[in-house]
Amino acid sequence: MAFTYRAALAALAVGASCISMAAAAQDAASQGQEDGEIVVNGYIASLAKARELKRNSNIIKDVIVAEDMAKFPELNLAESIQRLPGVAINREAGEGRRITLRGLSPDYIRVQLNGMEVLGNVDSAMDSRGQRSRDRAFDFNIFASELFSRVEVEKSYQASQAEGGMAGTVGLFTAKPLDQKQGISGAIAAKLGTNSYTKDAQPRVAAMLSQNWDNRFGILLSVAYSKRKTEEQGYNTYSPSQLSASQIASYLGKGLDISALSADQQAKFKSGNLVFASGNRLSVWDARQERLGLTLATQWRPADNLLFTVDGLHGEFTTNRDEYHLATRPDNTSGSVIFDTTSKIKSIHWDSTNFVDSISVDNATYASEHRRSRNKNKFNQIALTYKWDATERFKVDGHIGYEDSSYTTPIDDKLYLRARGGMTTTYSADGTSATNSYAWNTLDPSKYEFKEFYFREFWNKTNLREGVLNGAYTLNDVFTLRGGASYRRFSNSGSEIYNDGQFQKFGGDPAASIVDTFTQNKSADWLTGNYDRAFAKYNAQHTIVGAWDIENTFKVTEETKSTYGQLEWNAPVAGMRLRGNFSLRAFFTDTTSTGNVTQSDRPIGVVTTSASYSDVLPALNAALEITPNFLLRVAAARNINRPSLGSMSASGTASADGSDPASRKITASIGNPDLKPYKDDAIDVSAEWYFGQVGLISLGVYHKDIDNLIITDTQYNVPYSTTGLPLSLLPSLTPNTIVSEYSKPINGGKAYITGFEAAAQANFTFLPAPFDKLGMSTNVTLIDSNIRDKNGVNNPINGLSKSSANATLYYETKRWGIRGSMNYRSSYLRSGYDGKKPESKDGFDGTVYVDAAAFYNLTDRIRLTLDAINLTNETEVQFNSIYHRLHNETRSGTSVFGGVSIKF
């Protein structure tokens, strides 16, 4: 990755040099010079519009404007937003899902749709990526990108914005009918694509129809639909296992054969010091995705000074996923290591960290897993927005709205087959790849037998009710006083039900009649279970009837009332212009949390608790226009981030390692509804230089001090009464029973983030024709961070990449255009080192994604397009432990779309 990082920075340096030349050339030109050679439509026009919105803002923000309806070329909005400074994304099957902003994870980012907060839950194929996250983060895959005309990323805070989202606020905006031409107008865009792995036909269709009656009344309807297959292939492991000397001795006593190893190797193997990879798994994740989005906007202007807007949006995103895995899954040893008690280890090698990086085994035990799931995301929002210019000095605006979202998994099944045979597995020294060599015929049906079914279901629901009223009074030519109040009621609930191995378990039954041949993986072919034939043979079906493993069942409700005051100014100062605002926001939040108390994953009771908190948040934003084209900005504010939903759950559990009250060891854990929000004190300083028609160079630094982060507090040998859990969880409990280990989340962590952002864009009109139609947009972000827990352990903040960069090189005329984009993100952690267990550290290596887009205008109304996503088929590598061992390594192929758009 060092090479790609240097290459990325080199590309940025070249781009910056060209932009500086463009800036000098355009700045030197007289204001009256003829600009007829500069194209101001298409992509260049979108850059110009976005630049003006950034320039005129009193706060620090970046903007993306779509060229036209359905002109975001990326697969979804996350991939478009990643082009902005300070933004990085994670990907699922090659498609952008969630964003990080200025080093902070998605949980720290507020996302708004037409001014109202939106919430949506995420689904991932991998447990190691956070398979089902129930949090405050937003998954951009829910919405079709074609539905949106503008995206704004607010990086500094002002009190007229709702509290929360200390990383920033992402605003999504759909088209409005009174912004369109009078009369009937519309557009339709159709694309057909494919992927180098799936080789299927992937349609994307979007249409917009608007009627504007004399700028008094208008209706706009838009729809977007897409259907595609995705495929992610790779090598997959679980957390590594270090088996103790006593475990090894037990396995040897039961038949594990190490006689082929040298005396020194045998001694090392018996010592319990070796660390073994778990799973050693070849994996393919296939998915069939279908996305539908609908918007309906109605606007009414009964008078010149009054405007009502009703926005409705419906989104559906459905994924039917099939996963196929061939993994080591021994019956009689721990941790899914490669050897079973029936195995013979023929050779073994370990590295300097005692990790077994190569091992050859006879008679290993395997699981061929066919996992199928159906995941449904649905989102609905309706909001009434109003603007009333009561007088020239007094104005009123605001909105009332309702939204709900649901994420359900009605089917999540696993069908396991078992097989045995020899294998050699080898891990690369850099922790980025591994290979398996099988010493048996993986396509021989006689080698497989039926193992078991797993049946699971999940659901999660969120709803929000919100009302906002703002007023602004112009005191004089300099000052405007703004104030307002809002009400917000948010609730989130969900549950997970497991019926693992409890239904239709027929160990040892030959599987020849229920298998399919699986040949999609590039490394090997194997046999996998067929659900229809297996269900017919065993008279089985998906069911959770009788399941007792019901986990993570809770409901959290937050009710917030807030008010603010904001003084804005815009005045000449010593030949310059100073504008900005100072504001205070007060909020009062009441929370109610209900959760199941479980014993060995069985719900045996319900706990309901309430809590409240409040605060006042100050904010200052100032922009000094030294010249009309050169600005200095300063922003300082305090903001909050509400605790994660899982941490606030009132649910808890207790367990014992024995039944004798006198000798058993009791452990207990519980959520903490009394958690307070995180707080950050932030300061930003930036400079912006505007030139030409799209030219911009900006430099900025920022610093955030964050307090009240959630950490896990573990207490030892405390009375059971300390836990607050009911005595019914375990037999013979009393308030004075000693709990050996009791943990719960508390506020107490501290962190800081310091960042540098640089961005530049320009048309290279100084070059001789035909190169004068070239242009470039580029940015780089460098971040330093540290999070410190109560034990003094320091780590970078999870999800934070220390460096990220984007560069887009474009060539555009009135007839045709082409552009290529590069996105670089350095490595980041999913979990930091806890100071004790090497495997507690887990993260992702850096990546460089390359995309391209081109268009050709047949007429003023008809355009042909070509988009290519992930041209280099980038490898995603997830590592584990402080020694950088392989966790996952996957690729998802290149996607290409050709299309046509028509305006009328």
Of 481-495, 740-754, 874-888, give the lowest mean pLDDT range. 740-754
- Which amino acid, residue 832? G
- Dig out the tokens for 239 from the structure: 């957390």
pLDDT band for 1, please (50, 70, 90 cuts).
Answer: very low
- Are 410 and 374 spatial neighbours (Cβ–Cβ below 8 Å)? yes
Q: DSSP H helical segments within 115-226, as ranges?
A: none
Read off the pLDDT of residues 121-149 as tens digits, 9 standing for 90 and up: 656 666 656 555 556 677 777 777 778 88
Read off the pLDDT of residues 287-330 as tens digits, 9 standing for 90 and up: 999 999 999 999 999 999 999 999 999 999 999 999 999 999 99
Q: Is the dihedral of CA 131, 134, 137, 142 positive or negative?
A: positive
pLDDT at 389 over 80: yes
pLDDT of residue 830: 86
pLDDT of residue 791: 60
Q: Distance from CA of residue 402 to its chain's centroid?
A: 24
Strands 695-719 and 738-763 turn out to be: antiparallel
Rounded to whole angstroms, how far apart are CA atoms 378 and 292?
A: 10
pLDDT of residue 837: 85
Read off the pLDDT of residues 12-66 as tens digits, 9 standing for 90 and up: 555 555 555 555 555 544 343 333 333 445 678 888 898 999 999 999 999 988 7
- The SS3 assignment for 56 reads helix
Determine the length of the chain: 904
Rounded to whole angstroms, how far apart are CA atoms 545 and 38?
A: 68
Q: Which residue from 724, 721, 602, 720 is spatially nearest to 661, judged by alpha carbons?
A: 720
pLDDT of residue 792: 61
pLDDT of residue 749: 80
Of 27-36, 370-379, 390-399, 756-765, give the lowest mean pLDDT range. 27-36
pLDDT of residue 623: 97
- Are 497 and 413 spatial neighbours (Cβ–Cβ below 8 Å)? no
pLDDT of residue 39: 41
pLDDT of residue 70: 45
- Are 319 and 312 spatial neighbours (Cβ–Cβ below 8 Å)? no
Instruction: Kindly state the percentage of the chain with pLDDT values over 90.
Output: 61
Task: State the first-to-last Cα distance of the chain, in angstroms, to the nearest integer.
Answer: 48
pLDDT band for 628, please (50, 70, 90 cuts).
Answer: very high
Of 290-299, 446-455, 702-711, 740-749, give the lowest mean pLDDT range. 740-749
391 CB contacts (<8 Å, ≥6 apart)? none
Read off the pLDDT of residues 647-693 as tens digits, 9 standing for 90 and up: 777 677 777 776 777 778 888 887 787 888 989 999 999 999 999 98
pLDDT of residue 726: 73
pLDDT of residue 34: 37
Q: Which helix (H) or strand (E) holds 120?
A: none
Give me the mean pLDDT over the 343-371 stretch.
96
Rounded to whole angstroms, how far apart are CA atoms 886 and 237?
A: 7
692 CB contacts (<8 Å, ≥6 apart)? 22, 23, 26, 27, 38, 762, 763, 765
Q: DSSP H helical segments within 189-301, as ranges?
A: 245-253, 263-271
pLDDT of residue 660: 73
Q: Distance from CA of residue 861 to its chain's centroid?
A: 36
Rounded to whole angstroms, how far apart are CA atoms 463 and 490?
A: 6
Q: What is the 3-state secondary structure (H, E, C) of 553-593?
A: EEEEEEEEEEEEEEEEEEEEECCEEEEEEEEEEEEEEEEEE
Read off the pLDDT of residues 161-191 as tens digits, 9 standing for 90 and up: 999 888 899 999 999 999 999 999 999 999 9
Burial class (CB in 10 A: 0-12, 13-18, 19+), 776: buried
Q: Which residue from 359, 294, 308, 335 is spatially nearest to 144, judged by alpha carbons?
A: 294
pLDDT of residue 69: 43
687 - beta bridge partners? 632, 699
Q: Count CA atoms closer than 13 A to 201's CA, side-chain side.
A: 6
- Dig out the tokens for 529 from the structure: 């279970």
Rounded to whole angstroms, how far apart are CA atoms 52 and 62?
A: 10
- Are 588 and 582 spatial neighbours (Cβ–Cβ below 8 Å)? no
Rounded to whole angstroms, how far apart are CA atoms 449 and 374?
A: 26
* 319 Ramachandran zone, left/alpha/beta (phi>0; psi -120 to 50): beta
Tally of CB atoms within 10 A around 882 = 14
- Are 337 and 420 spatial neighbours (Cβ–Cβ below 8 Å)? no
pLDDT band for 810, please (50, 70, 90 cuts).
Answer: very high
pLDDT at 701 over 50: yes
Burial 278-309 (b: 16+ CB within 10 A, else e): bbbbbbbbbbbbebbbbbbbbbbbeeeeebeb
- The SS3 assignment for 13 reads helix
* 12 Ramachandran zone, left/alpha/beta (phi>0; psi -120 to 50): alpha
- Dig out the tokens for 230 from the structure: 């995705």
- Are 293 and 147 spatial neighbours (Cβ–Cβ below 8 Å)? yes
Read off the pLDDT of residues 823-849 as tens digits, 9 standing for 90 and up: 999 999 888 887 888 888 999 999 999
Burial 57-95 (b: 16+ CB within 10 A, else e): bbbbbbbbbbbbbbbbbbbbbbbbbbbbbbbbbbbbbbb
pLDDT of residue 502: 65
Sequential DSSP letters for 663-705: T--EEEEE--TTPPPEEEEEEEEEEEEEETTTEEEEEEEEEEE
